[in-house]
Amino acid sequence: MPTAAPTPGSTLLNPTNHALVMIDFQSQMAFATKSIDPVLLRANASLVANAARIFKVPTILTTVAEKSFSGPMFDEIKQAFPGQKMLDRTSMNTWEDKAVIAEVNRIAKPQLVLSGLWTSVCIVGPALSALEQGFEIYVIADACGDVSSEAHERAMERMIQQGARPMTSLQYLLELQRDWARAETYEATTGLAKQYGAYGIGVTYAKTMFGASEGH
């Protein structure tokens, strides 16, 4: 019989054990995305980016053919990381880009969280490549999109079969916070949830009507 202890599991994310990679959230890629509503996609991407900002998670922002074809990264993401350089690539597989890999090695985290467009190409490529090289991979499913629901779902299944761990954008934020007693990030976390998450509607109601908070 195992003995229970009040400690988190090793596969749970925290602000210091992983890096976030946001891939090709660009105009041209979004135009053809059909598996998720583009407004919801932008909200989820912003939720993820700002969660990383609040918890100071090292983040890599990468684009593909920004000037010649795909266009700029979503403003919501750029605003969360003001002044950060976009690593522009020619390769569809982010993991084959030397500048991106140099940044992965500089950050040196064993767990990588991926989000971006499109799931079946620009997320599958780095996910499977990184898994083969010994990294633990998490994919934020609702902050990814593809040209069809079929393409997105088959891509998620393929990555999960190889060991990737799926999650959602709100789950990412709340897993980083994890304890409402962490006062230093409490207001920022609940504020972000109120702004972008359906969960935040309940937070707003409870605070307005009853003065309630998650820690009480």
- Rounded average pLDDT over 121-125: 97
Please state the φ and ψ torsions of residue 170, each to the nearest 5 degrees.
-65, -40
Whether the pLDDT of residue 63 is over 80: the answer is yes
84 CB-near residues (< 8 Å, 6+ apart): 59, 61, 78
User: What's the pLDDT score for residue 201?
Assistant: 55
pTM: 0.90
State pLDDT tens for residues 130-171: 999 999 999 999 999 999 999 999 999 999 999 999 999 999
pLDDT at 43: 95
CA 193 to CA 110: how far, in whole Å? 27
Dig out the tokens for 132 from the structure: 């083969």
What's the sign of the alpha-carbon dihedral 73, 99, 44, 69? positive
Element of type H or E holding 124: helix 124-132
Strand arrangement of the beta sheet that strand 18-23 belongs to: 87-89, 59-64, 18-23, 111-117, 136-145, 165-167
pLDDT tens column, 69-97: 788 999 999 999 999 999 999 999 999 99
Q: pLDDT tens-digit profile of 170-179?
A: 999 999 999 9
Say if CB 174 and CB 167 are below 8 A apart. Answer: no
Q: Which residues contact 81 (CB under 8 A, 6 or more apart)?
A: 49, 53, 59, 61
- Read off the amino acid at residue 213: S
Confidence of residue 105 (pLDDT cuts 50, 70, 90): very high
CA 205 to chain centre: 27
Q: Show the domains of the chain with their CATH numbers.
A: 18-178 (3.40.50.850), 186-216 (no CATH)
Residue 67 reports pLDDT greater than 90? no
